[in-house]
């Protein structure tokens, strides 16, 4: 029932005029709030916060205290409860605390998880989940988009492409409102990437502001504007990607020349010579399909005895979707090959064997029978088989290979690991070019296609939207700023104690002399400035988290684990396991 009323209120905000109608924007009405689960921050049992705005702490609906701008607050879990540390004192707050954003005359009004990190302009609720902090940010959807658009699409894309991205992201977010969970979206690619607001991204900010409140609708309801990085030259249908029923008539499967033309669209290419030996990777893919024909012609049926002489034809097939889909799953090729045969078994005449001689002991014992000792000639070692030279097969062979999942990965054609690449073959005088395109599910707007439409062809954002969502109508909803509470007068009138700087946790010391054999020095690098890396008790994602490691933390890598994605590391303080992909080796 709660979800129904939230969606009803949102739909009542839809105007009956198209987005281009003058004075249709509901500037004075606040945009809806969206609740964002901040998983990307990887909080453990501690959160260090900079309150860069007007905030109060609320526990069980009661305002407990007010903070000055710039206050540095730490929330810790101790013995199953939350403790707030600020300005030299601590406060036990139970299992739930909310830092409420209040009205401010300053433009910047939010929370930072790092001193130089992005701003999270909303109200933050912290609870305990499995011994870890669970952060949920409630934020006006228009401010939320400021932290989505420049991370889902580059700040440096053309403005009209960024506008199209803003409309897609806004429509997607509003569609998620009213979840039965305590949040609407997560801040990762499971929904939309949200990293907080960086006011240096002026193009993305302008795109959000100039499309304020514009959403996509279908049959009077909010649409769902799916999008992906690149569709590979053809848009995909929702029902071909996700199970379940829905009214998806505002999507169509059409060729996308804009994505195809964009040189920044990801393409994987394998060059296969028409004549002469192919690469070892390609040979490993096709050899198992040729060996039966080799055996039938008397060849030794092993890949080592196979030589590809000429490929006379190559084509794609195995369509699993209805036309006009160009998604193909099989590769068929006709080829001529050579192999080796066994000439004859090597023979050798064994040396004559003499009759065994019988030797008797000089003085036989009365109780023992004579024991014969036999002498024989050892067998001659078997000679190696004699093979013919490579000789051509009597007839060409035609084979068909299933491309997904193994072949595309062996050949290096996999792009996003989703086994939905759009494959094509181009012929030259000397080679076949087997190419793979598509990064993501391919449904709805292609971000690379939108980039090319806006940058190369000068298309406006509503033209981009019309191409990728041909049955959808653009309309406006409320888009005003959030209405924020005012701090209680008694707290506002009482000066808060001066803030005591709480520096970011000090990096652990590391002594890198006399390293064990095979060990080396590395540094945590491949994480965001406002994120952290979990040091775990075992080399698995489910293991206990020992500590959060921050960027630039030095580590001694002791050994590679059985799962090579993990390494055992140590500092002068403790040992544990981390994923090696987040480390960078320190050169000598």
What is the 3 state secondary structure string of 428-487?
CCCEEEEEEECECCCECEEHHHHHHHHHCCCCCHHHHHHHHCCCCEEEECCCECCCCCCC
Residue carrying structure tokens 């429509």: 171
pLDDT at 442 over 50: yes
pLDDT at 346 over 90: no
> For 565-584, what is the mean pLDDT?
90
What residue spans define the domains of the chain?
A: 12-225+472-476, 267-344+385-435, 520-585
Tell me the pairing of strands 89-94 and 81-86. Answer: antiparallel
Reading the block at residue 303, the tokens are 């890949």
Res 504: pLDDT: 53
Rounded CA gap, 439 and 230, in Å? 5
Mean pLDDT lowest among 95-99, 206-210, 520-524: 520-524
Res 493: pLDDT: 52
CB 538 within 8 Å of CB 569: no
pLDDT at 546 over 90: no
Res 518: pLDDT: 86
Q: Confidence band (pLDDT; 50, 70, 90) for 386?
A: confident
Res 478: pLDDT: 87
Angle of CA points 22, 25, 29, to nearest 5°: 155
Q: Confidence band (pLDDT; 50, 70, 90) for 1?
A: very low
pLDDT at 178 over 90: no
| CATH architecture for the domain at 520-585 | Roll (2.30)
- Gyration radius of the chain's alpha carbons: 34
What are the backbone angles phi and psi of residue 531, rounded to the nearest 5°? Answer: -115, -170
Q: Confidence band (pLDDT; 50, 70, 90) for 88?
A: confident
pLDDT in tens, 275-291: 998 999 999 999 999 99
**% residues pLDDT > 90 (the chain):** 66
pLDDT at 15 over 60: no
Res 375: pLDDT: 52
Residue 141: CB atoms within 10 Å: 25
The more confidently predicted of residues 152 and 369 is: 152
pLDDT at 491 over 70: no
Q: Confidence band (pLDDT; 50, 70, 90) for 18?
A: very low
Residue carrying structure tokens 């990777």: 281
Mean pLDDT lowest among 219-233, 301-315, 318-332, 348-362: 348-362
pLDDT at 249 over 60: yes
Res 515: pLDDT: 85
Res 300: pLDDT: 93
pLDDT at 368 over 60: no
CB 194 within 8 Å of CB 46: no
> For 292-302, what is the mean pLDDT?
94
Q: Confidence band (pLDDT; 50, 70, 90) for 499?
A: very low
Tell me the pairing of strands 566-570 and 554-560. Answer: antiparallel
Q: Confidence band (pLDDT; 50, 70, 90) for 370?
A: low
Res 6: pLDDT: 46
Q: Residue 415, Cα to own-chain centre: how many angstroms? A: 11
The more confidently predicted of residues 509 and 198 is: 198
CB 144 within 8 Å of CB 173: yes
> For 389-400, what is the mean pLDDT?
95
The more confidently predicted of residues 348 and 420 is: 420
Res 551: pLDDT: 87
21-34 burial, b if ≥16 CB within 10 A, otherwise e?
A: eeeebbeeebbbbb
Q: Confidence band (pLDDT; 50, 70, 90) for 502?
A: very low
Mean pLDDT lowest among 194-208, 355-369, 455-469: 355-369
Q: Confidence band (pLDDT; 50, 70, 90) for 372?
A: low
Rounded CA gap, 443 and 323, in Å? 16
* Residues contacting 109, CB < 8 A, separation 6+: 52, 53, 54, 101, 121
* Residues contacting 402, CB < 8 A, separation 6+: 318, 329, 330
Q: Confidence band (pLDDT; 50, 70, 90) for 552?
A: confident
Q: Residue 354 burial by CB count (10 A; 0-12/13-18/19+): exposed, middle or buried?
A: exposed
Mean pLDDT over each residue of the chain, to the nearest integer: 87
Res 16: pLDDT: 37
């Amino acid at each position: 029932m709660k979800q129904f009323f939230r969606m009803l209120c949102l739909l009542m905000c839809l105007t009956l005029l198209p987005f281009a109608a003058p004075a249709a924007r509901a500037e004075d009405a606040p945009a809806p709030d969206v609740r964002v689960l901040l998983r990307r921050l990887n909080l453990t049992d501690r959160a260090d916060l900079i309150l860069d705005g007007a905030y109060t702490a609320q526990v069980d609906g009661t305002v407990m205290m007010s903070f000055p701008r710039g206050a540095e607050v730490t929330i810790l879990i101790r013995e199953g409860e939350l403790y707030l540390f600020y300005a030299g004192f601590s406060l036990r707050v139970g299992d739930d605390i909310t830092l409420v954003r209040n009205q401010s005359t300053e433009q910047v009004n939010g929370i930072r998880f790092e001193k130089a990190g992005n701003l999270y302009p909303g109200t933050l609720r912290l609870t305990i989940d499995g011994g870890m902090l669970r952060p949920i940010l409630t934020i006006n959807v228009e401010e939320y988009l400021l932290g989505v658009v420049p991370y889902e699409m580059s700040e440096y894309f053309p403005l009209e492409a960024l506008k199209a991205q803003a409309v897609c992201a806004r429509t997607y977010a509003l569609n998620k409102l009213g979840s039965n969970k305590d949040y609407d979206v997560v801040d990762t690619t499971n929904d939309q990437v949200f990293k907080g607001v960086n006011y240096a991204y002026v193009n993305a900010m302008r795109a959000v502001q100039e499309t304020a409140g514009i959403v996509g609708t279908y049959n009077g309801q909010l649409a769902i504007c799916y999008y992906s990085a690149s569709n590979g030259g053809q848009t995909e249908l929702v029902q071909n990607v996700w199970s379940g029923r829905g009214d998806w008539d505002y999507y169509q499967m059409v060729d996308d020349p804009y994505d195809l033309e964009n040189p920044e669209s990801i393409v994987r290419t394998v060059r296969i010579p028409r004549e002469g030996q192919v690469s070892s990777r390609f040979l490993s893919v096709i050899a198992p399909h040729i060996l039966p024909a080799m055996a039938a012609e008397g060849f030794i049926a092993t890949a080592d005895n196979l030589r590809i002489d000429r490929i006379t034809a190559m084509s794609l097939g195995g369509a699993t979707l209805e036309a006009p889909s160009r998604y193909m799953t099989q590769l068929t090729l006709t080829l001529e090959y050579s192999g080796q045969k066994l000439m004859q078994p090597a023979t050798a005449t064994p040396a004559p064997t003499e009759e065994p001689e019988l030797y008797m002991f000089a003085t036989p014992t009365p109780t023992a029978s004579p024991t014969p000792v036999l002498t024989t000639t050892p067998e001659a070692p078997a000679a190696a088989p004699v093979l013919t030279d490579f000789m051509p097969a009597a007839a060409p062979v035609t084979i068909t290979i299933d491309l997904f999942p193994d072949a595309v990965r062996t050949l290096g054609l996999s792009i996003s690991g989703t086994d939905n690449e759009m494959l094509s073959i181009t012929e030259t005088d000397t080679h076949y070019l087997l190419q793979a395109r598509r990064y993501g599910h391919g449904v709805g707007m292609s971000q690379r296609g939108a980039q090319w439409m806006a940058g190369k062809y000068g298309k406006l954002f509503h033209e981009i939207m019309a191409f990728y969502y041909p049955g959808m109508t653009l309309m406006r909803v409320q888009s005003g700023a959030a209405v924020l509470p005012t701090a209680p007068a008694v707290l506002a009138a009482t000066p808060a104690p001066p803030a005591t700087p709480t520096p970011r946790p000090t990096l652990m010391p590391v002594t890198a002399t006399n390293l064990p054999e095979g060990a080396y020095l590395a540094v945590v690098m491949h994480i965001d400035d406002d994120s952290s890396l979990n040091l775990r008790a075992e080399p698995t994602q489910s293991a206990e988290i020992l500590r959060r490691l921050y960027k630039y933390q030095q580590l001694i890598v002791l050994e590679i684990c059985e799962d090579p994605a993990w390494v055992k590391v140590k500092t002068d303080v403790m040992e544990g396991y981390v994923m090696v992909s987040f480390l960078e080796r320190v050169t000598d």
